[in-house]
Every structure is written in C-alpha cells, then in structure tokens.
C-alpha cells in the first residue's frame, strides 16, 4: 500500500522533528530541583542508561526479523496489513456480583432526584435507609419508584448511566457498577504514540479475558501506512458489546483514537461504557504512594519491577531508530512496555473489583 503524498510528507516531517527536537529535556547532573521546571524531564543518568540500552538492542538484534524478535502474525484488513502480537497471561477476574452492587446502590439515596448529601443524612436519621424506604416518603416516592425500576429491570449500561448522572466517574459508587458486567465484556486499552496529539499511533494494545486468561493483542505499526489498518482492526473490538478499561484513557487514549480516525476520514464514535482507573487510583492511593503512575502502582501493589524499560517520552526516538535501521531491537522495549501496562491495568482492575 502506498501512502498519499500528504501522509508521506507528514511522516517525514515528524521523523525529522523526533531527531532534531525531542519532546523531553535532559536534566544535567540529575539536579532534581530542575526536573520540576521541565514538562518532560529525563535525568542525565537515566538518559545515558536508555541510550546504552538502545545501542545494545541494535547490536543484539542485528540481522533479526520482526517475526523472530516479536513473534506474531500479519492481519489483513480492507486498508492493508498490520502486524499483530498475541500473548496469554494468567489472570482471573472476580465474577460479577449483581446482588452486591445493588446493595450499594440501594443505600445511595442521592440517586433520587432532589436528594443531595445533606438531605441524604437527614433522611437516614429519620429512618429512610434505602431507596426502597423512600417509597413511603410523600415527596420522593415517585422518583424512588423510577429509580428502582431502572435498578431492577435496566441493563448494566442503563444503570451505569443512572449512577454517573449524579456521581463523577472517579467516585467509588460509579466504579462499583463494573460488578454488573461479565468478565468477558471488558476490553483493556493502551496506546503508544509518537507524542502528544496529532502524531501517529505506533502501537495499539488491547487485552481481554478468555477462560481465566488475559489475552493481549497488540497491533504494531511497522511503517506509517499501517496506522490505518491498526485503527481498523481496533474498531472491530470497539464496535462490539465491550466495556473499556483504561488508565487516563478519558483524557488521552480515547480522544487520541478519535482524532486519528477523523484524520483518515473514518467515523468512529466511541460510546462504549468506560472505566478509567486513574482518578479512582488517586482517590484510593494518593496518601499512601509518592505518585499514582501505573508503574508506581505495579511496583507497590504487585512487586513488579520492569527491566530494560523506556520512558514514554523517549519512545519516538526508539521507534525512529527502528525505522532508520529496520532493526527490530528498539521495538522490543516499546512492545514490552505496552504489554506490561495492559497486564498491570488488568490486575489493578481486579483489585478494585474485589473491593466492591
């Protein structure tokens, strides 16, 4: 498949930008106080370690094909081929708990129109402990009856929509509605890109649960003309009856996907139910951890320490090294980083689901 001239030119310009003006600042002598003055700081010692890693990978995988370095298969789409890497990981998500979720929701009187937190406290002091009790309240009985009808007869999507109408997505009561869905409906998503917005996606990571295993399916863009096939392959998952799980996906991954689809003139309105674990993690762990980066959580919660990892802001540099040399070595840490993000995201989701 041959790229249109405009895309070919854009690709060349982005590659030049990656080389000439990287999106990070190297902090000389590891002066931590200066790191706070830079939007994307990389300590000098870390920078040199990563550069050594890149050169080591180029040597290690010299004369090696992508197929040998990263076993996968070529998937044909209507817009051309894309390379898919599939793996299976041991992970079992707790079963759905409709009864437990309902108990939580029935105790939340603020789901009823006209009841805020203060009014809820007053009503509970008067003996109205659940929404069912409000059926005997002259003012709120009609609204309570409508809410109960949705809770008893509505789909998980309708119930989730009801809850998020009154609560932010980060609220525990919003997160608990994930217990209404079967495990097989969850789709974990993570992107690797050449920068912040309006730049190509180079890897789309998806994961789903199948027979008590987490299956990761990564679409690797081996050249710029494969971005659209990767997007098309991803859209097949998004069009199914799937529930998205991301980490900062509401702000980054989903808008980024929409932007790239629009660039190619492809309509893709991503309306899947969506659980973004960033804000629930901040609410849950902000006082216990130094930060709430996914890598920090996986270290503290799951004792996972990555080897030969690449900071996200240096991913474009590694990808450019691959494009220039056609040596798959620099792709290895990008693919492994994305895969580990998916596994850690799924494990974190399991943790939250168990706590519901």
Q: How many residues does the chain have?
A: 356
Range(s) of the chain covered by CATH 3.30.420.10: 5-93+182-355
Choice among 16-30, 111-125, 182-196 with the minimum mean pLDDT:
16-30
Residue 73 neighbours by CB distance under 10 Å: 10
Percent of the chain with pLDDT over 90: 72
pTM of the predicted protein model = 0.90
Q: What is the mean pLDDT of residues 230-251?
A: 93
Contact call for residues 241 and 185 (beta carbons, < 8 A): yes
Q: Which residue's entry shows tokens 């217990």? A: 179
What region does 244 belong to: left with phi over 0, alpha with psi -120 to 50, or beta? beta
Angle at the Cα of 109 from the Cα atoms of 104 and 112, rounded to 5 degrees: 120
Q: Using N-to-C axis directions, what is the helix angle for 278-285 and 331-355, rounded to 10°? A: 60
Identify which of 219, 203, 212, 216 has the alpha carbon closest to the alpha carbon of residue 86: 216
Q: How many helices (H) and strands (E) does the chain have?
A: 15, 9
Under CATH, domain 5-93+182-355 is a member of which superfamily? Ribonuclease H-like superfamily/Ribonuclease H (3.30.420.10)
Q: What is the pLDDT of residue 35?
A: 45
Neighbours of 184 (CB within 10 A): 14
C-alpha dist (Å) from residue 38 to 31, 292, 317:
12, 19, 19
Lowest mean pLDDT of 19-33, 58-72, 174-188, 307-321, name the range: 19-33
**60-73 residue pLDDT tens:** 999 999 999 999 99
Q: What share of the chain is helix, strand, coil (3-state, %, to 5)?
A: 55, 15, 30
Cβ neighbours of residue 264 closer than 8 Å, sequence gap 6 or more = 228, 231
The strand pairing partners of 80, in sequence order, are 77
Are 18 and 320 in contact, with CB atoms under 8 Å apart?
yes
SS3 85: strand
Q: HSE, CB side, 13 Å, CA atoms: give it for residue 189.
A: 28
Distance CA 86, CA 218 (A): 6
pLDDT band for position 24 (cuts 50, 70, 90)? low
Strand partners, 274: 244
Q: Is the pLDDT of residue 12 over 80?
A: no
Contacts of 192 (CB under 8 A, 6+ apart): 201, 202, 203, 205, 312, 315, 334, 337, 338
The predicted model gives 179-192 an average pLDDT of: 96
Pairwise CA distance, residues 2 & 220, whole Å: 18
Please report which confidence band the pLDDT of residue 267 belongs to, taking 50, 70 and 90 as the band edges: confident
Lowest-pLDDT range of 43-52, 207-216, 267-276, 347-356: 43-52
Phi, psi of 25 (to 5 degrees): -120, 130
């Amino acid at each position: 498949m041959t790229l249109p001239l405009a895309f070919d030119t854009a690709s060349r310009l982005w590659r030049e930008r990656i080389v000439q003006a990287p999106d990070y600042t190297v902090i000389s002598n590891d002066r931590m106080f200066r790191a706070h003055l830079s939007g994307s700081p990389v300590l000098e010692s870390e920078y040199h370690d990563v550069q050594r890693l890149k050169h080591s990978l180029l040597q290690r995988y010299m004369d090696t094909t992508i197929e040998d370095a990263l076993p996968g298969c070529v998937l044909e789409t209507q817009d051309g081929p894309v390379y898919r890497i599939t793996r299976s990981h041991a992970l079992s998500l707790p079963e759905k708990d409709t009864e437990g979720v309902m108990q939580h929701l029935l105790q939340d009187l603020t789901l009823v129109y006209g009841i805020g937190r203060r009014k809820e406290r007053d009503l509970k002091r008067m003996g109205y402990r659940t929404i069912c009790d409000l059926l005997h309240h002259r003012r709120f009985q009609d609204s309570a009856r409508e809410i109960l009808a949705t809770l008893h007869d509505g789909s998980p999507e309708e119930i989730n929509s009801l809850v998020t109408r009154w609560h932010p997505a980060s609220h525990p009561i919003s997160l608990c509605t994930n217990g209404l869905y079967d495990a097989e409906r969850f789709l974990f998503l993570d992107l690797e890109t050449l920068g912040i917005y309006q730049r190509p996606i180079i890897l789309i990571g998806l994961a789903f649960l199948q027979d008590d295993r987490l299956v990761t399916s990564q679409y690797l863009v081996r050249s710029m003309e494969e971005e659209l096939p990767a997007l098309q392959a991803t859209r097949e998952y998004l069009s199914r009856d799937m529930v998205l799980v991301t980490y900062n996906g509401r702000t980054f991954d989903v808008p980024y996907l929409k932007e790239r689809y629009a660039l190619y003139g492809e309509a893709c309105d991503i309306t899947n139910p969506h659980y973004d674990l960033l804000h629930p993690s901040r609410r849950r762990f902000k006082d216990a951890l130094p930060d709430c980066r996914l890598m920090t959580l996986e270290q503290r919660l799951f004792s996972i320490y990555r080897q030969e990892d690449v900071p996200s802001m240096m991913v474009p540099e590694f990808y450019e090294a691959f494009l220039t040399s056609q040596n798959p070595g620099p792709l290895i840490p990008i693919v492994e980083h994305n895969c580990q993000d998916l596994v850690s995201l799924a494990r974190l989701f399991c943790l939250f689901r168990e706590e519901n």
